[in-house]
Amino acid sequence: MDSKTHQKLSFNSLIFHVKMAQSSQQVKIIEVCRIAPPPELPGSSAPKSLPLTFFDILWLRLPPPQSIFFYEISSPSHELFYDSIIPKLKHSLSLTLHHFLPLAGNLTWPQNSHKPILNYVDGDGVSLTIAESNSDFYHLSGNDFRKATDYHPLLSYLEISKERATVMSLQVTVFPNCGISIGFTSHHAVLDGRTFATFVKFWARTCKSGAESPPWIPELIPFYDRSVIEDPCGAEEIYLNGWLNHGGPNNRSIMPLEQQVPPNSVRGTFELSREQIEKLKKSMFVNIIDEAKHGVHVSTFSVICGYTWVCLAKALKIKEKEAMLVFSADCRSRLIPSLPTTYFGNCLEGRSLVVETQVLLGEYGVSFAVEAIGKAVKGLEDGVVNGGLETWISMTRGMQSNQRTFSVASSPRLELYNTDFGWGNPRKSEVISIDRTGAICLSDSRSGNGGIEIGVVMKMEEMETFASLFSQAVEML
């Protein structure tokens, strides 16, 4: 590690420990309400009942995805927050739910149904918490190392029992004289990242427009027809039986599995510009001898995931014999016939790949990782459903073998930084749930330069090592 990098890391560490000492992390709850679709409006095209597909059932008991958007608002007054911004957010959310009725409903698994069902009943709504925080807005919305649990008070949680679960819970937190954060918690069996992005952009567009009735935004109107989802491999039965036997037999629970945040975890954000990504791609060809022969596609995704995966494995000093990487692919455009991007629900399939730890940590570890990821992505061409079943089986086995599992969350293609409620794009977008899953989070860049943000969570010592490893190769590009 050179002296410049060491000084930068030491400074980041100092900032982190000072913030730890100063932060009292107090959040005052101002209001908790339930926002429902407008009852006086004509009927929505959104159905009031939806059965889950095998794409949804795959995620039935996995931890809820959680995200926060931070918005800086210039010279905000108390009156602006509570007399203008909050009412606009409530009204536009209600109008948005007119098109997204299932998000205001509940997920249940009735005794007379062989699979869970999503139901909306008139009067249902989304829980919205209004809070006020005295925390450092600019620290939380920055890229320096930050305590992972400092974000938890900015989120409200789902009302979940074994038999019933709300779909989404929201929290708007006011940071006086700075801005606001909007926190989202959702049940993964109901929506994936693409559906979440469609919803939040619809809400933002509605809020910004100041519409008094639900706007018609064709490119964001949800597509609900589930008859287009075919299941040629019997994935639904396999996934259902898997969950029924997990803690079973006949365990019909829809309660997500619990995952704890490791003690003393910190969050870090690292960014690669478009230029750096292209240089990193070119450097991969040095050690991947024949791209055409091996069928390897060196993409932005494979390069960033491979590079980050190796840095993580080294920083965490993994001891397992093998390392597994799991990622999800959006299947909407890969199905035959293809689905609209606004298809409501989950439409993801997992892919997994395994590399020997010794190879991953070796001199050409990044090149081997990129090649393996490229082949896994190419494997999507052989059929997304069948490959998803293989991933389900390999992950189950991997939990009991000498493997260390890493995963990837979110996607730059969601363009979450392009979400303007009327105050400009977010100062920061964070996927909070990676502090429990340990996933690598990929996002578009707030700078809008075509770069990628990489979010990771680990202990402070590991984070410093990761930052050093990550920056060494970047500085050479």
The boundaries of the domain holding residue 36 are: 19-244
Residue 299 CA to residue 334 CA, distance in Å, equals: 18
Q: Do residues 298 and 225 both lie within one domain?
A: no
Structure tokens, 127: 């829980």
Domain shared by 234 and 286, yes or no: no
Report the interhelical angle of 274-284 vs 300-316 (nearest 10°): 80
Shared domain for 49 and 158, answered yes or no, is yes
The answer to whether residues 241 and 247 touch, using CB atoms and an 8 Å cutoff, is no
The enclosing domain of 345 has a CATH number of 3.30.559.10
Q: Which residues of 20-43 are buried (b: 16+ CB within 10 A; e: fewer)?
A: beebebebeeeeeeebbbeeeeee
Q: Answer yes or no: is pLDDT of 11 > 80.
A: no
Highest mean pLDDT among 181-190, 249-258, 288-297, 368-377: 181-190
Give the range with max mean pLDDT: 186-195, 257-266, 275-284.
Answer: 186-195
Please indicate, yes or no, if residue 210 is contained in any of the structural domains: yes
- The answer to whether residues 316 and 224 belong to one domain is no
Q: Which amino acid is at 183?
A: G
Indicate the pTM of the whole model: 0.91
Is residue 14 included in any domain, yes or no? no
Task: Tell me which residue of 150, 172, 185 sits closest to 31, measured CA to CA.
Answer: 172
- The pLDDT, as a whole number, for residue 255 is 92
Same domain, 281 and 346: yes
CB–CB of 184/100 below 8 Å? no
Instruction: Enumerate the β-bridge partners of residue 28.
Output: 132
Q: Say yes or no: 223 and 293 in one domain.
A: no
Residues 170, 306 within the same domain = no
**Residue 135 CB burial class (10 angstroms; 0-12, 13-18, ≥19):** buried
In a shared domain, residues 218 and 274: no
> Band of the pLDDT at 441, cuts 50, 70, 90?
very high
Domain final position from 210, 244, 278: 244
Catalytic positions: 188, 420
Picking from 244, 274, 294, the residue at the C-terminal end of a domain is 244
> Cα separation of 335 and 229, whole Å?
9
CA distance 239 to 243: 6
Same domain? For 333 and 202 the reply is no
Is residue 312 included in any domain, yes or no? yes
111 and 145, same domain (yes or no)? yes
Res 18 pLDDT > 50: no
Q: What is the mean pLDDT of residues 34-61?
A: 89
Within a domain: 10: no
**Does 253 map to a domain?**
no
- In the listed set 209, 244, 279, which residue is the last one of a domain according to the structure? 244
* Residue 257, domain member (yes or no): no
Q: Which residue is listed with tokens 């209001």?
A: 31
Q: What is the mean pLDDT of residues 239-267?
A: 91
Residues 239 and 371 reside in one and the same domain = no
pLDDT above 70 covers a percentage of the chain that reads 87
User: Is 62 domain-assigned?
Assistant: yes
pLDDT attached to residue 417: 97
CB 76 within 8 A of CB 178: yes
Give the per-residue pLDDT at 395: 54
Within a domain: 432: yes
Q: Are residues 33 and 63 in the same domain?
A: yes
pLDDT band, residue 45 (cuts 50/70/90): confident
Domains of the chain: total? 2
Mean pLDDT of 289-296: 52
